[in-house]
Chains A and B, each alone.
Chain A
Amino acid sequence: MSPAINFELRRRTFIAGTAVAAVTVGMSRKAAAQTAAPVGAESTTVFLTVNGEGRELTVDNRTTLLDALREHLQLTGTKKGCDHGQCGACTCTVNGTRVNSCLSLAVMHDGDEVETIEGIGAPDAMDPMQTAFVENDGFQCGYCTPGQIQSARAVLDEIRAGIPSHVTDDLTAEITITDAEIRERMSGNICRCGAYANILAAITQVAEDQA
């Protein structure tokens, strides 16, 4: 795994800091009208197993799993796209199931096992899905790729587990891996470069190799 990059002042951090200050000013009026207030600690200590390694973290309760991974554990392979569960760039697995890490709170994952793109392979020991994405040009800019790969691996598992999709013809028969099944199941991962055809080819290659 590459070491985390720790610039003294990153441009995005600086802009984010400025935005927070602006929001705080705007909020003071609203906050005055709000009578209810938190009734306990506003931060919590959680224990996560991330890529097989135990990590203890104390986070503001508002911290999403995505921000915990990126900002607290410096695992920046998992990307923040829309931050609202619409793009899938933040997809990682929790206890083996793919989720949008942007729509989950770190405090809700105490004791959970999280796997990120860093945990599934490295440049010198790639996961078969990573290799297939490279071989099939399954990306251009690469920003959505960690989420695509995490989703792609889970999609094949979900088909093998018999979980039906919107395009599954017979709900009681074994599900066959078709282009339509893969496309439908990958619809929660958006690729702004439009590498969909090659992503489909990469996933199909892995599915055939594993068959």
Chain B
Amino acid sequence: MRQFSYEKASDPGAAAARAAEVQGAKFIAGGTNLLDLMKLEIETPVHLIDVNGLGLDTISETEDGGLRIGTLVTNTVLSADARIRRDYPVLTRAIAAGASGQLRNKATTGGNLLQRTRCPYFYDTAMPCNKRAPGTGCGALTEGAFSRQLGVIGTSEACIATHPSDMAVAMRVLDAVIETVTPTGMTRQIPLEEFHQLPGDTPDQETALLPGELITHVTLPAPVGGRQSYHKVRDRASYAFALVSVALIRQADGTGRIALGGVAPKPWRRTEADAELPNGARAVIARLLDGATPTEENAFKITLAERTLAAMLKEA
């Protein structure tokens, strides 16, 4: 791990200004992903700004009947909140499907959204990776590469990594909005839909955040009801990243919303695919994954997504 200096932030705006001012600075909250990457020198911050003292660790009700989640609320606390379990069960289900108990106790809401891909070529510093070292190429797209876990849609010739979060997939079907504070002290609202960027030619640019900009809250609109479920398919029964995951909200009349995890560089949702829900899994996935460019190794994810959704629709 590289040497770094360290400070504790006491005000969100000041923390954002400081992060923009100090070259090579990063925020640290739970640290469960950042420290892992720092040990491997994939992340090499020279200054850490600890935001744990900012007090952004409560969940409050909004005027329009939604919930405003402080960025420092841990995954465990968020998943266990009685209001979340009752009104947004897809979010509890998604969080509980991710990581381990120890990690969920430490991982935060904002940090979960900002976690980096688990692509093996991103993690292996001996391999090329346009996300880790822009311009070096994509190790996952070389001859004989292992791409089984990687993305099938929204990817580019520069990068086929997936976003690993389960929580974000549920938040995407719930139309969550991210609140931030910028280095100039302005607050900003970013719909989750616009938060994660597709890789294009710049896979190192992962989010809509400006340099130094700090996530302060995630807001959920008023509950939409319906039957909510999250189904994660993975190589073992617990503590593994998704091959495919499906977040589904289904209303009594057959309409609903669907987002996929494990297939794209961001939680994957298309409103035109939502509209196909009354027509069954095949119609939904055909629309949702239209334009997919899988590799030979991960083409199975398209069939798997369709069959997972079919099973979920049958349960209802």
Q: Is A123 an interface residue (CB 8 A)?
A: no
CB distance from A170 to the nearest CB of B (A): 10
Binary interface encoding of chain A residues 179-211 relative to chain B, with 1 for a CB under 8 A from any of its CBs, else 0: 000011111110000000000000000000000
Given A61-B48, A84-B36, A163-B79: A38 touches B3 (CB 8 Å cut-off): yes
Q: For residues 79 through 108 of chain B, which have their beta carbon under 8 Å from a beta carbon of chain A?
A: 79-80, 85-86, 89, 92-93, 96-97, 99-103, 105-106
Q: How many residues of B contact A (CB 8 A)?
A: 43
Closest B residue, CB atoms, query A64: B35
CB distance from A14 to the nearest CB of B (A): 21
Q: For residues 206 through 243 of chain B, which have their beta carbon under 8 Å from a beta carbon of chain A?
A: 237-239
The reply to whether A103 and B46 form a contact with Cβ atoms under 8 Å apart is no
Chain A residues in 8 Å Cβ range of B89 = 171
The reply to whether A100 and B101 form a contact with Cβ atoms under 8 Å apart is no
Chain B residues in 8 Å Cβ range of A40 = 5-7, 47
Which of A105, A107, A161 has the most C-beta atoms of chain B within 10 angstroms of its own C-beta?
Answer: A105
The reply to whether B101 and A188 form a contact with Cβ atoms under 8 Å apart is yes
Closest B residue, CB atoms, query A188: B100
Given A40-B7, A44-B6, A155-B101: A108 touches B80 (CB 8 Å cut-off): no
Q: Among the listed A39, A154, A161, A172, which residue makes an inter-chain contact with B22, where contact means beta carbons less than 8 Å apart?
A: A39
Q: Among the listed B23, B32, B80, which residue makes an inter-chain contact with A85, where contact means beta carbons less than 8 Å apart?
A: B32
Bound-complex Cα distance A36 to B97 (A): 38
Binary interface encoding of chain B residues 7-37 relative to chain A, with 1 for a CB under 8 A from any of its CBs, else 0: 1000000000000001111001001100110
Instruction: Identify the stretch in A50-58, A91-99, A124-132, A136-144 within 8 Å (CB) of chain B at 4 or more residues.
Output: A91-99
Given A62-B3, A84-B39: A39 touches B79 (CB 8 Å cut-off): no
Q: Among the listed A39, A85, A107, A188, which residue makes an inter-chain contact with B46, where contact means beta carbons less than 8 Å apart?
A: A39
Given A37-B46, A85-B32, A151-B101: A100 touches B80 (CB 8 Å cut-off): no
Bound-complex Cα distance A40 to B1 (A): 17
Binary interface encoding of chain A residues 81-115 relative to chain B, with 1 for a CB under 8 A from any of its CBs, else 0: 00111001001000001111001110110000000
The reply to whether B28 and A108 form a contact with Cβ atoms under 8 Å apart is yes
Q: Is A121 an interface residue (CB 8 A)?
A: no
Chain B residues in 8 Å Cβ range of A154 = 101
Bound-complex Cα distance A104 to B107 (A): 11
The 10 A-B residue pairs whose C-beta atoms are closest, nearest first, are A188-B100, A36-B24, A40-B5, A187-B238, A38-B5, A187-B239, A36-B23, A171-B85, A163-B80, A166-B96
Write the residues of chain A forming the contact surface with B, with a CB cutoff of 8 angstroms. 34-42, 44, 61-62, 64, 83-85, 88, 91, 97-100, 103-105, 107-108, 151, 154-155, 158, 161-166, 168, 171-172, 183-189
Write the residues of chain B forming the contact surface with A, with a CB cutoff of 8 angstroms. 1-7, 22-25, 28, 31-32, 35-36, 39, 44, 46-48, 50, 52, 76, 79-80, 85-86, 89, 92-93, 96-97, 99-103, 105-106, 237-239
Can you list 8 contacts pairing A with B, beta carbon distance less than 8 Å? A34-B44, A40-B5, A83-B39, A84-B39, A91-B102, A104-B106, A154-B101, A165-B101
